[in-house]
Structure 1
Amino acid sequence: MAVRTVVLEADGGSRGNPGPAGYGAVIRDLASGEVLAERSEAIGTATNNVAEYRGLIAGLEAAAELGAAEVDARMDSKLVVEQMCGRWQIKHPGLRPLAAQAAALVGRFAAVRFQWIPRERNRHADALANAAMDAAAGKPPRASAPPRAVEPSRAAGLSRAVEPSQGVESPREVAAPDSPARALAREAAARAATRGAGSDPATTPASWESRPSDTATRLILVRHGETEFTAQRRYSGRGDVPLSARGRTQARATAARVAALAPTVAAVVSSPLARCTATARAIARAIGDVPVRTVDDLIECDFGAWEGHTFAEVRAGWPGELDAWLASTRLAPPDGESFTEVAARVARATDALLEAYPGETVVVVTHVSPIKLVLREALAAEDAFLHRLYLDAAGISVLDRWPDGGIAVRSINDTAHLTPL
């Protein structure tokens, strides 16, 4: 029978590092601590880290076979926990395909929470790994570790990863705190889940349609105009590539469109990179010489070693890293930044704008990744949204946010002003 939430304990070891290696994984019922499944295997010659990743993968596969919706993954490997949470880069090429495989499995669950635990609290999985290595070496089996009770997790929310808790049984979320909109949505969902069929309609929260529009802060999100890298479809992150001639023409057309959309603008804010500030200055002139303020948190994702390369070049040069990056927003390009990290700073920037300009209109000139992440949050979309949404250079998206957390996305990637160009 399918279970809602399980605890996954995984471990791996190598006698020699590299040397004869094996892994172990245990799946427990969260409420009772009952062992639901065990997995172990000797994997030949490998490193400790490879064996630990193999244990995690086997455990996630077992949890999926049991029909689990959520997984509390507990490991004594800080490296695996930190890499799966996206805080440590995966520099060893042998680990990248394994991380990508694990990330793909994580995507099959509603939530997977990672937690570091001390080695003595991972004895069952460790014993399974050692038994697999002993069997491969022809040694007699050791006494297995006795099952132990598992304290129910008190973690709230449905984040994909959580911080290592330094031995605290109940994990804490690694993601930044919910925005007001996401928190309100969670509360509304909880109310809807517990509301009976005969509920009083007067207690039902009003929709955004009933809110007066003049109390909302309107964000006009503008992607910068075209650059040479844009035209050549190259990764363009922190490199300060200027607008091309076509990009400057697009910026002027976008400025006229924004002026028509919002005759009164409280502020124009921009990423500090030249392609954005040039676009922002054109808009500021069109709406009455509003000062342009740069916000560092609005800068594009750092694509690290991929900067300036095309997708085809990255696929040829970093196939494992690319697969891992596409599979998980927690993983970063080599020497780069993960989308999870970008999302945290962009949320910080937009929340500050909402506080500074309540009920007013703000033009935000930035890049593809920040705009996609804002729209993903506004639409309560999944991570796949980031790779399915296309945003043109100089395209405009508009959303309203109310003080109580309500959101209305008015338009996405408006390019009507660019048609003749």
Structure 2
Amino acid sequence: MTRRFVVEADGGSRGNPGPAGYGAVVRDADTGLILVEAAEFIGRATNNVAEYKGLIAGLRAAFELDPAAAVDVRMDSKLVVEQMSGRWKIKHPDMQPLAAEARAVFPRDRVSYAWIPRERNKDADRLANEAMDAGRAGRSWAPRTAADPVVPAAPVEEPLPAPAAPKAGWGADLGTPTTLVLLRHGETALTPQKRFSGSTGSDPELSEKGRWQAERAAEALAARGTVQAVVCSPMLRTRQTAEAAALRLGLEVRVESGLREVDFGDWEGLTFGEVQERHPADLDAWLASSKARPTGSTESFASLAQRVAVARDKVLARYAGRTVLVVSHVSPIKTLVRLALGAPPDSMYRMELAAASFCAVQYYADGNASLRLLNDTGHLR
């Protein structure tokens, strides 16, 4: 039987635009119990942007619980409900990519939208305000602890237990997992110099050594014979690496923009030492917090994680049960590994990821993930 969730989402801005945040809850549709709460302070934004981000967070939380579920979305934003239902056009350029992100989480036939009055959306509204309060205080919103009560949507005769967390270790057969074989692109001229090379820099091509590495990776994949699809970042170095593998495998390359490297802003093309000399305060802040951005950048590691998670979910939905080669960059691949492990953001600084190295993560039907390989460079020896 298909599991059904109710997602209630809201967003707010104190100033419109102004300091903004969102909140979302995922309920069990049968019991009304809250299964997941999500909230975040998103900086300066409009009400509508915050509402869309709340919707995306709620859908992603539901997907993590059960990617095969059906979802009833309830919001007090008439605009978002009508646009996502397809009855109103999305004209504002800030809304279009957010709507696309929301639609990418679940197949359209598994999500319905309904407007509810604000008084029936109190939990999501509360979370959005908690997130904005936390942001004003200079801290991150934190979810309720296990000791806090789980609130049902309506009174029930007897208290119902919260759903059990997935058990570690052996369990029921969940069928064939979806395997993402993660390949970092081959070297460019900037790689051996250890220069920042993100999504807004010179977009370098593979060097001669990088092309050799791409060929060795392609040979290794062809020898294994398990890859059934190839997806890559839109950057030139990843496309060249992916095309070498696709040619050997007889597959086409699908580009996914969410897999691109983070935007390093004014640090593009600089070494770590040069950044330390020119932007010491910004570098210290960036190393201390996943929400800090490189000088002149529009993107932090926290926002990168959101983007990469959306791209991951799109790949998992499209290629369920198959093995997919994903060609990307250092930061997105480390992020995928971190998310699979449930590790904190600073764990990214403790991973080594060589050029043209392989990682592999398997994703199961219950939402769990298993890291199977990290920084494998055996094919380059």
Q: TM-score range by the shorter chain?
A: 0.5 to 0.7
1:233 aligns with 2:194: yes
The aligned counterpart of 1:373 is 335
| Contact 1:372–1:386 (Cα < 8 Å) also in 2 | yes
| Matched AA of 2:276 | R
1:400 aligns with 2:362: yes
Q: How many Å separate the matches in 2 of 1:165 and 1:221?
A: 34
Q: How many Å separate the matches in 2 of 1:335 and 1:361?
A: 38
| Counterpart secondary structure, 2:237 | helix
* 1:31-50 mapped onto 2 (5 Å cutoff): none
> Deviation at 1:265?
2.4
| Contact 1:163–1:173 (Cα < 8 Å) also in 2 | no
> Deviation at 1:209?
3.9
Deviation per residue, 1:135-163 (Å, 9 max, x gap): xxxxxxxxxxxxxxxxxxx9x75767466
Match 2:280 to one of 319, 334, 353: 319
> Deviation at 1:164?
7.7
| Contact 2:234–2:256 (Cα < 8 Å) also in 1 | yes
> Deviation at 1:180?
5.8
* 1:88-99 mapped onto 2 (5 Å cutoff): none
| Contact 1:218–1:359 (Cα < 8 Å) also in 2 | yes
> Deviation at 1:346?
1.2
> Deviation at 1:406?
1.5
The aligned counterpart of 1:268 is 230
Match 1:248 to one of 202, 211, 217: 211
> Deviation at 1:208?
5.9
| Contact 1:321–1:334 (Cα < 8 Å) also in 2 | yes
| Matched AA of 2:188 | T
Q: How many Å separate the matches in 2 of 1:181 and 1:383?
A: 21
- TM-score normalized with structure 2 length: 0.59
The aligned counterpart of 1:390 is 352
1:388–1:180 distance in 2 versus 1, CA, 3 Å: farther
* 1:124-203 mapped onto 2 (5 Å cutoff): 157=37, 161=41, 176-177=57-58, 178-179=60-61, 183=65
1:305 aligns with 2:266: yes
The aligned counterpart of 1:258 is 221
| Matched AA of 2:259 | L
Q: How many Å separate the matches in 2 of 1:230 and 1:80?
A: 40
1:333 aligns with 2:294: yes
1:300–1:223 distance in 2 versus 1, CA, 3 Å: same
> Deviation at 1:414?
0.9
| Contact 2:186–2:213 (Cα < 8 Å) also in 1 | yes
| Contact 2:361–2:371 (Cα < 8 Å) also in 1 | yes
Q: How many Å separate the matches in 1 of 2:308 and 2:45?
A: 26
The aligned counterpart of 1:361 is 323
1:335–1:205 distance in 2 versus 1, CA, 3 Å: closer
| Counterpart secondary structure, 2:191 | helix
Q: How many Å separate the matches in 2 of 1:327 and 1:78?
A: 30
Q: How many Å separate the matches in 1 of 2:186 and 2:262?
A: 17
> Deviation at 1:389?
1.1
Deviation per residue, 1:204-243 (Å, 9 max, x gap): 8554643547521100011000111111000001231111
| Contact 1:237–1:303 (Cα < 8 Å) also in 2 | yes
1:260–1:209 distance in 2 versus 1, CA, 3 Å: farther
| Contact 1:182–1:380 (Cα < 8 Å) also in 2 | no
**Range that drifts further, 336-345 or 219-228:** 336-345
Q: Once the two structures are aligned, what percentage of the paired residues are identical? A: 39
| Contact 1:159–1:173 (Cα < 8 Å) also in 2 | no
> Deviation at 1:345?
1.5
Deviation per residue, 1:282-334 (Å, 9 max, x gap): 111222x1001111111111111110000000000000111111111112112
| Contact 2:197–2:264 (Cα < 8 Å) also in 1 | yes
The aligned counterpart of 1:293 is 254
> Deviation at 1:257?
2.1
- In structure 2, runs of 5+ residues without a counterpart are 1-12, 24-33, 67-142, 151-163
Q: How many Å separate the matches in 2 of 1:79 and 1:316?
A: 35
Q: How many Å separate the matches in 1 of 2:275 and 2:286?
A: 11
1:272–1:173 distance in 2 versus 1, CA, 3 Å: closer
> Deviation at 1:403?
2.2
Q: How many Å separate the matches in 2 of 1:240 and 1:173?
A: 29
> Deviation at 1:258?
2.3
| Matched AA of 1:362 | V
Q: How many Å separate the matches in 2 of 1:210 and 1:181?
A: 20
Q: How many Å separate the matches in 2 of 1:190 and 1:182?
A: 19
- TM-score normalized with structure 1 length: 0.54
